[in-house]
Structure formats: structure tokens, C-alpha cells
Structure 1
């Protein structure tokens, strides 16, 4: 597979991406403990999630596509960290890369674009929860300026077992 970043472009997500984004996310729901959702979604069920990430403001959706194919290769989001008002300057971030598109630097490109888009927002910290084990995601987050801050032990149950979540933070 090519490894050149030039074959990938990153842009804000749009409603026309909904079906492909849902399919990508559903792979992780069905096959992994990377997300703690346990039931797959229809595109209509995912629409509120997509609409909660406008093209401006602190809660964004960035999508990576192939330059020629426009196939969605991954996405990154910033979402509310917690609902209480004092948390408004914190966001939770996440990255999902299509299984066949890993190890091409797409996660890094997505985070770079996301943090550039967020640079003018009134934000103080970004947080990322990574279900364990997931060394690749830990390395990605550290490369992008996150630092490990702690682990919630056995915080989620999926596929008949409990999973830990390591937490990372990044100053914005």
C-alpha cells in the first residue's frame, strides 16, 4: 500500500459522508473493544452524532479521503468531554481509521487537521480514552502531544469480558 500523505486529503465531514462513516464505525462496534458501543447503527441513528459536529466551533469532525477515490479512510472528532458547564473548555477526541488503511499516517494527519481547526477555539485541554490493549493508539496519541494520565480499570464490559481504558491529555 502507498504510504505517501499526498494520496490522502483531510476535510470537514459533511452529511453526504454519513453512510460511509457509519459503516466504518460499525466495523469497530462489531469487531473490537475500541468502542464500547455494543450494537451497530443505521445511518439515521448516527445522524444526530454527525450533526453534533458542525464545521465550526469546538466540536468538529474531520474526514480523511483518498485523493483520487474519495473513499473515506478515517475520521477524527472532538466532542464534549462532560456535560456540565465548567467542562466547556475541554474536549474528548477520537480517531478511527479504516482497517485496510492503517499504518499510513492517516491518524496523524487527522489529528493534525483537527487540532489546527480547533486552534482558534476557547479550549484548554483535549482528552482521549483508549481501551486496552491498544499500543498503536497510545503511540499515535503520544506522537500528537498527548501524555498518559491514568487508567480506569475494568470500566467497560464487551464480548463477555472487562476492559481497561487508559486516559491521555493534551494542552490546547
Structure 2
């Protein structure tokens, strides 16, 4: 089931995210987050943007949200997307279901452009974005440093 996030989801969401902080370059965050950090993030983001979770039983298997792309007023119709799937659930089409719903919500809210920023390489996320019609529009080389290595970041864009 896909539903709107609540702050009660923070513990499960932070567990999903912190796995990637500690074990992956998917996020370039270096320090794990607390439950309180994610409660605040959920409150702040969900006040202004769609923030949804994929739940099976009472277990959250993934989440996705839109957020501010840039703070200048001229960017108000553009958002940046975030999606994370519980690492043990990758390959089960949860990302596709979450993105389908999130993009539907954003289109209904009259957003014009959605951006996905990806640490590279990340074949699964590139495939997810391109399957929804996103096009690669930027590639920044060696802009993030994690696990004693430089990493590239790419940006994919979808215009409604």
C-alpha cells in the first residue's frame, strides 16, 4: 500500500536511509541520522510537498518525496525527488510504484519540472529514472568524497 508519511514512520525510514549512509555511495551523507532528525525532516517536507511510503503489513519497504530544488522564487515549479527502498527489497518494483504515485501527485499539483540527482555509478536508479522518461541533463565529475574515493553525480530531468 502507498500512503502519506507520518512522523510515526521516522524510525523505519531512518533505518532504511542509514543503511545507505553506512554501506553505499547512493547517498553522499557520511554520518547516520537519528529518528529525531527524520521526524523533523518529515514534518518540514510534508508541509509543502508530497512525501509517501510503501507499506506492506506494518513494515515500510520504501519512501519517496519531492523537495525544494532551489530556494529562489523563480524555481517554485521545479522540485527535486528522493527515493529509497529497503536494501533487502530491491528489485521488487517498489521504486516503480512509488515513483508512479509521486509523479502523479506532482503533475496534479502543477509542477513543471522534476529533477533526480544520482551518485554514479547507480545502474538501478538510472534505469528507474529513464523508464519514467527522465533525461540526463548534467554530469559533475568527482564532486563527492566518500569511502576514500571521489564520486560523480548526475542529474536527470523530467518536464511535464
For Structure 1 versus Structure 2, the TM-score category normalised by the shorter chain is: over 0.9
1:65-118 Cα distance to aligned partner (Å, 9 max, x none): 11xx22111011101001111111110002101111111110000001111122
Tell me if 1:61 matches 2:51: yes
Tell me if 1:153 matches 2:141: yes
Aligned to 2:13: 21
Structure 1 runs of 4+ off > 4 angstroms? none
1:122 deviation in Å? 3.3
Aligned to 2:44: 52
What is the number of residues matched between the two proteins?
160
Question: What's the TM-score once normalised by structure 1's chain length?
Answer: 0.89
* Structure with higher helix content: 2
Secondary structure, counterpart of 2:155 in structure 1 = strand
Return the alpha-carbon distance in structure 2 between the equivalents of residues 29 and 54 of structure 1: 22
Return the alpha-carbon distance in structure 2 between the equivalents of residues 60 and 157 of structure 1: 30
Tell me if 1:36 matches 2:24: no
Secondary structure, counterpart of 1:95 in structure 2 = strand
Secondary structure, counterpart of 2:46 in structure 1 = coil
Q: CA RMSD in A?
A: 1.2
Aligned to 1:3: none
Question: What's the TM-score once normalised by structure 2's chain length?
Answer: 0.95
Return the alpha-carbon distance in structure 2 between the equivalents of residues 167 and 85 of structure 1: 21
Structure 1 residues without counterparts, runs of 5 or longer: 1-8
